[in-house]
Structure 1
Amino acid sequence: MDGTLTINGPKHTDGLTVERQEKPFHPIEHVDARLISLLDMAADSICLIDDHSRILLFNKASETLFGYSAEDVIGQRVDILMPQKYAEHHDGWIARYLETGEHSIIGIGREVQGQHKDGTTFPFDLSVGVAETENGKQFIGVMRDLRARKEDEQRLRSLQTELNQMTRINAMDEMGATVAHELNQPLTAIILYLQAVERKVSKLADRGPITSEDVEQLSDLCGRAIQEAQRSSSLLQRIRSIIEKKEPERTTCDLVEIIRKAHKLSLVGFSATDVFIDLSAPDDLPPVSVDPVQIEQIFLNLLRNAFQAMREVEQKAIKISLKIVTDEEDRRDRLQVRFQDTGSGIPDSHRKNLFKAFDSERRNGMGLGLAIARSIAQNHGGSLDLAPFDEAQPGACFLLTLPIASSPSDESEPKTESSESMDGSQ
């Protein structure tokens, strides 16, 4: 026998199996000691394989990363270093590259899963290079363990969650007196309605039989008391949902309804009855896939900042317009919200650091809230930015983009827009 045998190669995505002639294994016998020393000093794992996925070289960092010694793996197939489900993809990639020259990973780093000798899996960044040798093509992989980075990212997310909660609690603390005042109104009304019921019942006890008119009056008073109680309950529930610490819960939502709820809550503690709010959106506006409480927090922040910025101007107006835009990078449709106020505007010197959480130069103290608002938008796969200054439109203009839950049913039909107004009395 000549040492050559025929094996069934990996299946391509079209289901066809490629017959490949497996060549004899040629280990690397003569390697410069300086090169070996250099490879073993490298912080990253470095592994060299031949065109049949057999390991030729395995440096010290690779031994640490995967738990195998070089003697254990030299000559073995590289899929010993990866979970089984990834091994098939790897074989298909090698076969496709050798047959067509197509290289979707050469020179491009990407995150993949590795498997330690003890069976545990872990993420690492893989970059691959290729070289032509007398024994055929060889592939060199440089691998960097991502576990520490993943842990840091998780800690950062946890800290961001804590920061968001602290800010929400701080905002509610600042609104404490006004919230108490807001609650006092319906509670006072409830007391008055119930006192009226009590007086009515006392009169009926002295007067005699109850008429249908009496029943109607009592029912009306009780109904009014119930409405005020529901108003109080609704306010408390909204405050609780903002303060409460919980993981984001994405649902399919109507963004216009989220804006309405944020507007209602933003009026707590602000005398904004003279602010005109124009909200316009296409009739076929698609829903968004978001956590409604977190997105409401963005609009609550923008609205309260705008109210504060417009205190000293005569014309107090906010224009909120929604439209569908296509992202230039991934070509996906998103929902864009343009939020324009007629306030005092943002000086050029403050624009650069506007979204920095602890910047001292911020528009009437808005800094931390905007930093968190942008973080929420980005965590949803969207963005929050300040639009370029426009002399024709005074005030500040913010652009918020969010992912849509579904595409419009028929994009070929012309879009019509509906417009509604909200004022501070609502």
Structure 2
Amino acid sequence: HAPTLFMSILALMLLILFKRFTPKLPGILLTVVITTIVAWLTGYQDKGGAVVGVVPAGLPAFAWPEYDSTHIKDLMLPAGMIAFLSFVEAFSVAKAVASKTRQRLSADQEMVGKGLANLVAGVMQGYPVSGSFSRTAIAFDAGAKTGFAAVVSGIIVGITLLFLTPWMYHLPVATLAAVIIVAVASLIQIAPLIHSWKVNRHDCFVAFVVFNTTIYFAPHLEKGVYIGIAISLAFYIYRTMRPHFAEVSRYADGTYRDALLFGMHTSDTLALFRYDGDLYFVNAGYLEKRLVNAVANKPELKVAILDIEAVDQIDTTGEEMLTHISEWFREAGIDFYITRPKFKVAQVLKRTGFYDKIGEDHIFSRRRDALATIIHKYGDLVDMEHLTYHLPLENTLPETGNKQENS
């Protein structure tokens, strides 16, 4: 449609020119005024151009919402979905702006503000309140710096509804679209997407999918958000299903690192394993399998030590797995020790009686105490040289760059 195309190009040009050459002037307001006058003088509506048309004048009146107990069941799920989606949208917009302004962002404060706003909207015949991506982008593009900009905007909207609605009749819809496009364009950043690809390709994939699905399902943005949440949860479960597990040996700098990754000797009679991740129903079986397989490769093994310093959370399945594996080690004639459990993990293991089953003399807060006990108990029957000295494999020159991150 030629008139709509012309009006769109005119609005875009005006917005870009005002922003570039006269940034101190209210470019958006001037663009709206100019295009409205042009639409009125040229008969834009008569030529098929879409205009705002009649806008009802006046402010919404106070009205206490009607209560009907039969509606509670029908409204619970939709209301919960609206609340969740509105928070996600508002917080996402706030994060996008905060990343540019480097302002502190508080999710709790956002929730309180949204709650109060929705309470007022509920008694003023209003829609559920949320942060608007386009409106926030326009305010930010216009130079808004603080929350007072929203107060001024609200006052102007109120004045407009009371006295200025007839003047908005000829405002072209194409102008409003141009305003949103120009404002939102400044918030689109490719660099964070590239950065997320370098950090974790899963995050980049989620961002790419959410971006495209929200465009595809627009204006039903909630579908894109739900898809993004589902994919994020799937990736989280996938990552936590197989945490890093390794048999460690002493490195040249005195730390214990992945013996396989850094090319170091291990022992056939004593093994120190490290597990890096929470221990819950998703990955408990994985840890059990790795321990069993590692021990199966060491038929002469006498002592096994499991370092669980990285375990921050443990659930019932994880605790049952530790109990089961400790019993399996006992039946196999292997002395099993656990080192460096965090306080809250240790408290769980004490409450469940795991300490009594394995014996408190088999759980140590420091690895060196466990090693000293094992030396005192077994002496030369176990080979602990790989935990005392750095013993690289022949023709192995381990690098300390990326390997340190995965050690």
TM-score interval, smaller chain: under 0.3
- Superposition TM-score, scaled by structure 2 size: 0.21
- Superposition TM-score, scaled by structure 1 size: 0.21
Q: Which of the pair is proportionally richer in strand?
A: 1
Q: Which has the higher contact order (CA 8 A, sep 6+)?
A: 2
